[in-house]
Amino acid sequence: MKANGNTVDEILTNIPFDRIVPFNKLHQVILKNLPKGFESAISYGGLGYVVPHSIYSSGYHCKPSEPLPFAGLASQKHSINFYHMGIYSDPELLNWFITEFPKHSKQKLDMGKSCIRFKKI
């Protein structure tokens, strides 16, 4: 589902009413924990968290004019999804995440390769 907006602020404002609070709360948590220099931006047509060209001038290998994607957040039909582009590429990080998740959530982990789905908002 493509985000409704052309800027980060527009996306955050145009989230479905029942998801505005949890979506924006998750966005703030992500911003608070992003590595220094990373920033929120439009990425893949939605809300992304990127390594800007000022840090990694080569940009995204498939489209060098765009910054390197790191993570993303989307309001999909049945869930709010968080995408972490590297979690599945590092088995140690993936195992840590799978082990830690139940310590912080009563919900069962619903996860694809890089997608963590939050269905019960």
The structure's pTM equals 0.86
pLDDT for residue 1 is more than 60: no
Pairing of strands 80-84, 46-51: unpaired
- pLDDT (mean) for 54-82: 91
pLDDT for residue 107 is more than 80: yes
- pLDDT (mean) for 99-110: 94
- In the numeric block, which tokens belong to residue 107? 């919900």
CA atoms within 13 A on the CB side of 17: 0
* pLDDT the model gives residue 85: 84
Q: Return the CATH fold of 8-118.
A: Aspartate Aminotransferase, domain 1 (3.90.1150)
Q: What is the pLDDT of residues 31-54, one digit of tens each?
A: 999 999 999 998 888 899 999 999
